[in-house]
Amino acid sequence: MQHKIPNTKLGPLGDEMASAVSTCVHCGFCLAACPTYDQLGQEPDSPRGRIVLMKEVLEGELSVDDASLHIDRCLGCLACEPACPSGVPYRDLISPYRATMEPLRKRTLIDRITRVMTSSTLPYPGRFRMAAKLGRFARPLAPFLPRSIGAMLNLLPDRLPPRQSWAATNPAVGQRRGRVALLSGCAQSVLAPDINSATIDVLTRNGIEVVVPPSQSCCGALSWHVGNWNQAKRFAIANLKAFPADVDAIVTNAAGCGSGMHEYAMILKGTPYESEASDFVGKVKDVSVVLAELGELAAIPQRSEPLRIAYHDACHLANAQSVRVQPRDLLSQIPAVELLEIPESHLCCGSAGTYNVDQPEIAKSLGDDKVRHLLSTDPDLVATGNIGCMTQLQTHLAAAGSNVQVRHTVQILRDAYVGKL
């Protein structure tokens, strides 16, 4: 697509945004893959339409606020990328655009309050735990509050699991086959800390020493994807300093976090940390990838009772990191497991970071659709690789009257190892 984008006037991300726009040939293959186009049926709510809108804003032909309705509706799920025959790197446009244009936005007071609440709580486990506990008491007021704040309260669980902590070094069991550093996460460590415990258990059981850097911070993905560039940079720099260089991989067990850390070179472009960030990105791997690369894993005890597991592709694992086969292969190694594919699996479940708060109506519709397709497979259990998806799916399963539980892939593996599956 031809453009008149003034790259040099747009800061360090200008070249990437212009390049992404120029790669688009306006073919429309992305429309069928886009969840918001599927929901709303409007061209401006498709990747192709959004690229045109962002191009016009970057060229100065359209105001930021005139385009914001449709840009804000983008989940950032990146389903458009594998669908695109031209290879448009949509991620190099949507997040940099939001980061570059956010200072020019005219937001309402409620929007500003909501953004401050999320950015000052979610990335900090201690604050988030306290806010979640207090928020439960305010939940009865949700119908009378602005929709974004009400949606935030309704997402809070009835109770939080007990706090867990992890040793700085977790030695391998038996012969050491590798050494990795684990991102323990922020919201996940509060909502589902057992995912980290299961990750450490499965890795160490298979000969991997796991280091948990005590000075690590939030990955920065939530900040980056909503245009809070300065906060994203602070988190990225903190993690560059916190994670040791002498590890074989930096392991993530939340798709959104892994995707965000893979963008550190973009987030820190034009800073003294850009080169270091590029090296760092090369080591970031999802836990399923690390386990798959080991080859032969420790034997999983035999089990006789059949178990039907529906696997849900987290968008930021399948689309952003191209990790689709590895989790399925791992689950298929469990005796007596039948792996089920969910219809319309390419469509996002509607979680997408803070999307439930920012666009609650679309998020609810996507969640309802996903659960309807999921239940059509008649599963005993649902597996996925992202805390946001787990929360969204479990909420909508409960609303549908289903008792089916959602578990992380490594939790299922850990349970199989210890005979509790």
Q: How far apart are CA 261 and CA 151, in angstroms?
A: 27
CA of residue 64 relative to chain centroid, distance:
26
Strand partners, 408: 384
Residue 43 Cα to chain centre, angstroms: 25
How many Å apart are CA 260 and CA 266, to the nearest integer? Answer: 10
User: How far apart (Å, rounded) are the C-alpha atoms in residues 141 and 60?
Assistant: 42
Within this chain, domains 169-293 and 299-418 share the same CATH topology: no
Residue 132 in 3-state DSSP? helix
What pLDDT sits at residue 140? Answer: 81
Which residues fall within 8 angstroms of residue 92, CB to CB, at 6 or more apart?
A: 16, 17, 19, 20, 266
Confidence of residue 231 (pLDDT cuts 50, 70, 90): very high
Residue 141 has pLDDT above 90, yes or no: no
Residues 6 or more apart whose CB falls under 8 angstroms from that of 303 comprise: 334, 335, 336, 416, 419, 421
> Residue 93 — pLDDT band, cuts 50, 70, 90?
very high
Q: Extract the tokens encoding 231.
A: 């906060």
Lowest mean per-residue pLDDT among 110-114, 223-227, 254-258, 261-265: 110-114
Structure-block tokens of residue 93: 């446009």
How does residue 114 score in pLDDT terms, banded at 50, 70 and 90? confident
CATH topology of domain 7-104: Fumarate Reductase Iron-sulfur Protein; Chain B, domain 2 (1.10.1060)
- Residue 287's pLDDT band (cuts 50, 70, 90): very high
The pair phi, psi for residue 103, each rounded to 5°, is: -60, -20
Q: What is the pLDDT of residue 392?
A: 93
pLDDT at 63 > cutoff 90: yes
Phi-psi region of 164 (alpha: psi -120 to 50; beta: other; left: phi over 0): beta
Closest CA to 154 of 171, 172, 141, 173: 141
Strand partners, 381: 309, 405
Q: What percent of the chain has pLDDT over 90?
A: 82
Q: Decide if pLDDT at 151 tops 80.
A: no
Q: What percent of the chain has pLDDT over 70?
A: 100
Burial bucket for residue 216 (CB in 10 Å: 0-12, 13-18, 19+): buried
What's the rounded Cα separation, in Å, for the pair 128 and 354? 14
Stretch (H or E) spanning 68: helix 64-72
| Among the ranges given (81-85, 141-145, 304-308), the one the predictor scored with the smallest mean pLDDT | 141-145
CA 10 to chain centre: 27
Q: Which two tokens stand for residue 59?
A: 């060229």
Confidence of residue 115 (pLDDT cuts 50, 70, 90): confident
Q: How confident is the model at residue 174 (pLDDT cuts 50, 70, 90)?
A: very high
Can you give the pTM of this predicted structure?
0.93
- Cα dihedral sign, 142-143-145-149: positive
334-388 residue pLDDT tens = 999 999 999 999 999 999 888 888 898 999 999 999 999 999 999 999 999 999 9
Q: CA–CA separation, 239 vs 237, rounded Å?
A: 5
Closest by CA to 80, choosing from 389, 312, 259, 320, is: 320
* List of residues 6+ apart from 109 with CB closer than 8 A: none
pLDDT of residue 320: 96
**Top CATH class, 299-418:** alpha beta
Task: Check residue 353 and give its pLDDT.
Answer: 82
The Cβ-side half-sphere exposure at 180, using a 13 Å CA radius, reads 28
Domain ranges of the chain: 7-104, 109-155, 169-293, 299-418
Architecture of domain 169-293: Up-down Bundle (1.20)
Collect all residues with Cβ–Cβ distance below 8 Å to 268 and sequence separation of at least 6: 233, 236, 237, 274, 277
Give me the chain's average pLDDT, please.
94
